[in-house]
Structure 1
Amino acid sequence: MDTTMWDAIIVGGGAAGLSAGVVLARARFATLVVDGGAPRNGPADHMHGYLTRDGMAPSAFIATGRDEFTRYGGTLALASVTAARRAADGMFELRLDDGRALRARSVLVATGLTDELPDIPGLPERWASQVHHCPHCHGYEVRGRTIVVIGSAMAATSAHLAALLRRYSDSVTFCVNATEIGEVERRRLTAYGVRVIDARVTAITTSAGPPGAASPVAVVLGNGETITCDAVFVAPRPRPHDAVPAMLGAARDPETGLIAVDARGATSVPGLWAAGNVVNPRAQVVTAAGAGSTAAIAMTAWLLDRELAAAFEGGVR
């Protein structure tokens, strides 16, 4: 057992976790960030939509964030949480995969999610290079190019993706790929200039292009047709890494199934917060960072209130 009583332990060291860590460390709370080192956007070369950080590599963003956090006195642990519980005295107890046991007055979960891709050969290998999921993150970079959208289990999102990408290109093909799409939606997409194909996608390969040019992507269909394009987009199923709040008894939203939080990131468990993609799969880096900062400010108020109460009770005695 680590004898340190942390004011706050943040599980997850991405945009949300590190932003929260900086806020808490600057407020002079003993803060530990536990990070497993596998950020959602790790495979990407660049991130976009973050004012003053547009085009920055995610790895550089994390490295800079860690430096800022530790510069203010925060502590970083490169590990993963394997168990979590609330002790009889009200403290949170976390066990790490390196064997350490930790105690904290409060916890923020910012563990993100995994993008669950359709089972299509060749697609995972091209993820974040030739295959993307967010037009707001990568659409501008392929503007005016040939784009194919592959339908997934996220049917509504897939159709929306195809329509939105039409804003970036005159050549957008939506391979329905057994996705449930209504006739009205199909007609709307067609009227908007999206080519809709019903055939199932069987593989993604790379076509040889001219010497020195970027190799285009080949989308192989079950009907024997192959579509060559410059970029592929797909809507993956988000799989939140919410084991820690689940172990601590946090309630879920009955509609989304996600861990429920209020506007400040507080869960149903006093002293437990959650922020970023773990509770908001659509959050971009800048959104997650803002949510982490908001949660941390709420945590400082919660921790301070308990310190005031303890000081008052001690004075009365």
Structure 2
Amino acid sequence: MSFDAVIVGGSFAGLSAAMMLARARRSVLVIDSGLPRNRYAAHSHGVLGLDGINGGELLRQAKAQLLDYPSVRWCSDTATEAHPTVDGFAVHTAGGDTWATRKLLLATGIRDELPSIPGLAERWGHSVLHCPYCHGYEIGGGEIGLLGGHALSAMMAGLLADWGQVTLFAHGMTLDDEQLATLQRRGVRVESAEVVALEGDAPDLSGALLADGRRIDLRALFVASRQHMASPLVEQLGCALDESPVGVLVQVDAQKQTTVPGVYAAGDATVIGNITLASAEGVRAGVSLHHALVAEDSALTS
């Protein structure tokens, strides 16, 4: 059986793209491993009309609504390989299935590489966070930290000052006079000693232990994780990548087309964002992919 589109990744971008294609009465297969990036967070905030909903519950509702469309099929598996064919692409899964498709959408997301600081990983998504717009309001003010060391650290620290009293842990980065002056105006403290451990009753956080033996009280710590592609398919297919301050992103055009004809990408693998932005990226990719299918169909019948 061949599909009009195979979507690898059944989180917010993939589901949104699949919905657009299903509503266009196109045959769609979603291959999903069941490991969304936001699975560590108990609640998803800033989602219009659904503020505070559990992310897993939101995905379950969206999946159920999508599967009401008769042209949609779901495969709970991991896509391990994809390659071009005469008619489009073949996608292989860990379970031994091979699926044929005219177009391929990669909504595979990214994998977070967290700093190797004792006590950090077990607090990820609860008191160690990555997005203030998603989690900052719930912190409720007080002492918060930002683990620096990358190009956006100074800018991010200034933003975080709207959510609490910020300490920027420089972690080896050098700040120029202009950055220091801006941080001072925003009330941000800069700490040069490295964080060597996080303390408290996990997953809660009470403080950070520094290399010189001092302890800084903290209610939350923001971390910009290093991002990697969550799936090998991007590299297998030869899609070009762009460097970002926190890792690589798939290079796409305004229609979410990658540098490989017939392969589209959307979601966290293409943009630094949140649930709403990932969903919007998926809608754009689904609509663009449908336009491409219509253009091909028209060419065949002309």
* Alpha-carbon separation, structure 1, partners of 2:169 and 2:201: 18
Moved over 6 A (4+): none
- Residue in structure 2 matched with residue 221 of structure 1 by the alignment: 210
Q: Find the counterpart in structure 1 of residue 261 from structure 2.
A: 270
- The answer to whether residue 162 in structure 2 is matched with residue 173 in structure 1 is no
Aligned to 2:233: 244
Match of 1:201 in 2: 195
Count of aligned positions: 299
1:69 and 1:145 map into 2 onto residues whose CA distance is 42
2:139 pairs with one of 142, 148, 152: 142
Q: CA deviation at 1:181?
A: 2.9
Partner of 2:83: 85
The one-letter amino acid of 1:203's match is A
SS in 2 for 1:199: coil
Q: CA RMSD in A?
A: 1.9
Q: How far does residue 5 in structure 1 lie from its aligned partner after superposition?
A: 0.5
The answer to whether the 8 Å contact 1:177/1:198 transfers is yes
Quick check: 1:207–1:228 contact (8 Å CA) kept in 2?
Answer: no
Instruction: Tell me how far apart the structure 2 counterparts of residues 144 and 205 of structure 1 sit (CA, whole Å).
Output: 19
Corresponding residue for residue 277 of structure 2: 287
Q: Mind listing any 5+ residue stretches in structure 2 that lack a counterpart?
A: none
AA at the equivalent of 2:172: A
Deviation of 1:159 (Å): 1.9
Gaps of at least 5 residues in structure 1 are 209-213, 313-317
The CA distance in 1 between the partners of 2:39 and 2:93, in whole Å, is: 22
**Structure-1 separation of matches of 2:220 and 2:151:** 21
Per-residue deviation, 1:72:
1.1
Partner Cα separation in structure 1 for residue 207 and residue 32 of structure 2: 37
Q: Please say if residues 240 and 279 of structure 1, whose CA atoms lie closer than 8 Å, have aligned partners that are also in contact.
A: no
Higher alpha-carbon deviation: 249-258 or 229-238: 249-258
- State the one-letter code of the partner of 1:77: C
Question: Aligned equivalents of 1:63 and 1:217: distance in 2?
Answer: 34
Q: Distance in 2 between matches of 1:260 and 1:207?
A: 41
In 1, the alpha carbon distance for the partners of 2:215 and 2:177 equals 25
The higher radius of gyration belongs to 1
Superposed, 1:1-317 pairs within 5 Å as 4-73=1-70, 74-87=72-85, 89-152=86-149, 155-169=150-164, 171-206=165-200, 216-241=205-230, 243-253=232-242, 257-280=248-271, 282-312=272-302
State how far apart, in whole Å, the 2-side matches of 1:215 and 1:290 are. 32
Write the deviation string for residues 164-191 of structure 1: whole angstroms up to 9, x where unpaired: 111122x211121223433432232123
* Contact 2:144–2:219 (CA under 8 A) maintained in structure 1: yes
Between the aligned partners of 1:37 and 1:235, the Cα distance in structure 2 is 24
Label 1:254 to 1:232 Cα distance change in 2 as closer, same or farther (>3 A). closer
Following the alignment from structure 2 to structure 1, what is the Cα–Cα distance between the partners of residues 224 and 182? 19
CA contact (8 A) 1:135 1:161 kept: no
Which secondary structure state, in structure 2, belongs to the residue aligned with residue 277 of structure 1?
coil
The normalised TM-score by structure 2 is 0.93
The answer to which of 175-184 and 231-240 deviates more is: 175-184
Q: Secondary structure at the match of 1:188?
A: helix
The AA in structure 2 aligned to 1:181 is: L
Give the secondary-structure state (helix, strand or coil) at the position aligned to 1:276.
coil
Residue 216 of structure 1: CA displacement? 4.4
Distance, in Å, in 2 between the alignment partners of 1:118 and 1:130 is 15
1:65 CA displacement: 1.2
